[in-house]
Amino acid sequence: MNHSPQGWNDWNAWNAPPPGPPGFPGPPPHAAPPVAGFGRRLGARLIDYTLLTMFAFMFFIVTVLVNPASLQGGEPQDGFYDAWAYLILFGWGVLLFFYDWLFHIAGGRTIGKMMVRVRVVRADGGRLRQGQAAGRALLFGLPQCLLCLGHVFTLLDCLWCLSDDERRRTLHDRAAGTIVVRD
């Protein structure tokens, strides 16, 4: 069997799709899916925030109930509630980062995006790369670790899609080279 580059070209020629009728270049290019609007994106974020809030609350309740001091009928040690307060105030952005990153690298969508039928893709329409998913999640989630200032940045970031071109990209979409499309 010929393993030269010419042999591979012959293989590709045999397996290429048939050309179209004379005078036509071939099959039409695949149409890009429609871009998701602001309403769908907002709905997906609200669903995600609700789910994450419920998860964080349940985690807090279970931690308080399973705390060794609580199991023995005593009070938690000094600093227990202070640690939780700091985690709630500053840990929300870290939780959002991991949630967005892991769901987007796994399938291009979070649970909220699944429910409203949108997904995140590369600007060329392909599946997200690891770095793109991490960068997008980093720019969206981690600023929310900063009280007030981080939330204002995230609000402006998300509202950016209202002023963008027809692709309706936010700042974290632009930085990562992604777009959000409807299914």
What value does the mean pLDDT of the chain take? 81
Residue that has been written with the tokens 């590709």 in this structure: 12
Structure confidence by residue, pLDDT tens digits, 99-110: 999 999 999 999
pLDDT by residue (tens digit) across 29-44? 566 789 998 999 999 9
Averaged pLDDT, groups of 10, the chain, 183 residues long:
49 52 60 85 93 89 72 65 79 91 94 96 92 93 87 87 82 92 91
Alpha-carbon distance of 165 to 168, in angstroms, equals 6
Domain range list for the chain: 34-182
Q: What per-residue confidence (pLDDT) applies to 68?
A: 64
Q: What is the pLDDT of residue 8?
A: 45
pLDDT for 28 equals 56
Between CA 156 and CA 152 the distance in angstroms is 6
What's this model's pTM, rounded to 2 decimal places? 0.74
Q: Other CB atoms closer than 10 Å to residue 63's CB: what's the count?
A: 14
